[in-house]
């Protein structure tokens, strides 16, 4: 994960926590949420130090542990990220409209369904959203690793099997 993204991910995890959290707890939560990736202490602790130095987080000591919480500046930074995300999504919707004008309604409709699916994720349970995000990350990692033909066939079979099982939840088919 790029360091810039990890910075915002850590801020988001700290903000979602009910109480201050340790660096170790953050590493465990990242591994739980992604399902496969755990940042090393060599990346998380210097990042926490930089976030604290930048005024985005603060710590208190408890039983020889540093427990981190968000500052007002950290909350404001997360708000700015959310605003940037919303702006980016507006740009995507505008691009979809332009695509529709240039390449026809069908292309526009397909892209609109994709963005609508992204928005509907916010209306499902946190557990399902978490699982879908883990699936997305695993699929992305697989594609980045460029699997061999044999691995690709195994992946295809696994996906086809999952699709068949998931069809029972599809309404209207």
Predicted pLDDT of residue 107: 57
User: Domain locations in the chain?
Assistant: 3-70, 85-123, 125-173
Query: What pLDDT score was predicted for residue 3?
Result: 52
Positions in the chain short of pLDDT 50: none
3-class SS of residue 63: coil
Which strand (E) or helix (H) includes residue 21?
none
pLDDT at residue number 106:
63
The domain defined by 3-70 folds into: Arc Repressor Mutant, subunit A (1.10.10)
- Spatial CA neighbour of 86 closest among 124, 114, 119: 119
User: Which helix H or strand E contains 2, and what residues bound it?
Assistant: none
**Considering only CA atoms, which of 78, 76, 81, 3 is closest in space to residue 44?**
3
Please check whether residue 51 is in contact with residue 10, taking contact to mean a CB–CB distance below 8 angstroms: yes
Q: Report the candidate in 16, 25, 24, 37 with the shortest Cα–Cα distance to residue 126.
A: 16
pLDDT of residue 103: 64
How far is it, in rounded angstroms, from Cα 63 to Cα 173? 57
- pLDDT for res 110: 61
């Amino acid at each position: 994960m790029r360091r810039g993204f990890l910075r915002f991910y850590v801020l988001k995890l700290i903000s979602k926590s009910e109480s201050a959290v340790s660096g170790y707890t953050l590493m465990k939560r990242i591994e739980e949420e992604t399902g496969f990736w755990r940042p090393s202490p060599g990346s998380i602790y210097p990042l926490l130090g930089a976030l604290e130095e930048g005024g985005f987080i603060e710590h208190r000591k408890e039983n020889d542990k540093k427990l981190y919480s968000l500052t007002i500046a950290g909350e404001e930074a997360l708000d700015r990220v959310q605003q940037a995300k919303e702006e980016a999504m507006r740009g995507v919707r505008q691009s979809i409209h332009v695509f529709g004008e240039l390449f026809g309604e069908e292309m526009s409709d397909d892209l609109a369904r994709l963005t609508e699916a992204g928005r509907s994720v916010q209306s499902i349970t946190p557990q399902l959203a978490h699982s879908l995000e883990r699936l997305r990350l695993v699929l992305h990692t697989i594609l980045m690793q460029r699997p061999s033909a044999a691995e690709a066939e195994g992946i295809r079979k696994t996906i086809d099997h999952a699709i068949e099982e998931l069809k029972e939840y599809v309404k209207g088919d």
